[in-house]
Structure 1
Amino acid sequence: MSARRMLTGTFLGLGALLMTTSALAPAAVAAPVPVTALNCDGNTYKCAANLQYGDGKWLADWSVNVYHQGVGSESSSARGAAAPVPVTGLTCDGNTYKCTAKLQYGDGKWLADWSVNVYHQGVVSGPSSARSAAAPVPVTGLTCDGNTYKCTAKLQYGDGKWIADWSVNVYHQG
């Protein structure tokens, strides 16, 4: 087989894959949709949000750090957490650029955290303005967007226009 023929086949295959992915995934979930449940998993190190869309089997997930508040080593201690467990509280921090979920597991001191962008909806400069946000603050609303592949948390701070967002994977459970 010639190199030209192999490259052509490769590009056609990649093009078909890209077309299928971009045609199905972004259009499949309306943007943004409410989150109906939030669970985190100490075995896979992921949190998953159930999305209020279609048949109810749409999810958004993202990588997290899972750890116990009283344990020094985050990575080794997380294996003890059952998978997945409900989230009982959610806060985001404009100083550390992290959201933290309290997990309903064991003694109640298990947490999951992940990096986020924190910004004010009315400020053009974006994340750099987040330094004035108090740390941490409660989350008042959570939505995920299948078009942008982001989840957005509304923060209980100041004029109510503070937001935290992060990248997620959006998919159908099957």
Structure 2
Amino acid sequence: MAGLLLGEVSNQGAHPVGSQRYSEEKPDDGSRWYFSRKEIEENSPSQADGIDLKKETYLRKSYCTFLQDLGMRLKVPQVTIATAIIFCHRFFLRQSHAKNDRRTIATVCMFLAGKVEETPRPLKDVILVSYEIINKKDPTAVQRIKQKVVRTGQVIEPVSLPVQGSIGRTGVQPGWTVFN
């Protein structure tokens, strides 16, 4: 096992499955967890979309750094951060960096990792901290998004009340005419 890269598969302990071995399965099979460097480089959707290996490596490192910063600010354990990084790596193993914003995907992965590792943080907190990191050069950015969240909450809450009060009754339409 010495000399293997993280994610590389050795033939030691590979169990036959029909006429194939685990290390020889198609990379499109979503149940595999281990891939050789060669498999990752040859089957990269990002490279198929014109992103070279050097740029893809930079993008991977940048979302790992982003997740580490996000996790530390959210005060989640390192295991949760590592899980988020694995989720991101798994996502970009199948999807292209050219078609997906790495920081958006990383933010979603952190939220999901918190749930999986039983260290959840409210979605609003994850988004606000992520937005703060992304816009760290603009100190007013966080205030703007907080104001948008408050305004959205003020609009959504009153509108949902007539619907909740009219569940099980006929005549939902008259309740809506008050707001229109």
Per the normalisation by structure 2, the TM-score is 0.22
Per the normalisation by structure 1, the TM-score is 0.22
Query: Which one has a larger percent strand, Structure 1 or Structure 2?
Result: 1
Higher relative contact order (CA 8 A, sep 6+): 1
The structure having more radius of gyration, on CA atoms, is 2
